[in-house]
A = this chain, B = another copy of it.
Amino acid sequence: MGKGRVEAFSDGVIAILITIMVLEMRVPEGGTVQDLLPVIPVFLSYVLSFLYLGIYWNNHHHMLHTVETVRGGILWANLHLLFWLSLIPFVTHWMNITHFARIPTALYGGVLLMAALSYMILQGRIIAAQGSASLLKKAIGKDWKGRLSPLIYLLAIFLALWTRWGAISLYVLVALVWLIPDRRIERVLSK
Chain A residues proximal to chain B, CB less than 8 Å: 1-2, 4-9, 11-20, 22-23, 25, 27-33, 35-36, 47, 50, 54, 57-58, 61-62, 65, 71-73, 75-76, 79, 82-83, 86-87, 89-90, 93-94, 97-99, 101-104, 107, 179, 181-183, 186, 189
Copies in the complex: 4
Q: Which residue on chain B has the smallest CB distance to residue A36?
A: B103
Task: Report the minimum CB–CB distance from A174 to chain B (whole Å).
Answer: 16
A1 and B65 contact, CB distance less than 8 A = yes
**CA gap between A94 and B22 in the complex, in Å:** 12
A30 and B72 contact, CB distance less than 8 A = no
Contacts of A54 in B (CB 8 A): 76, 79
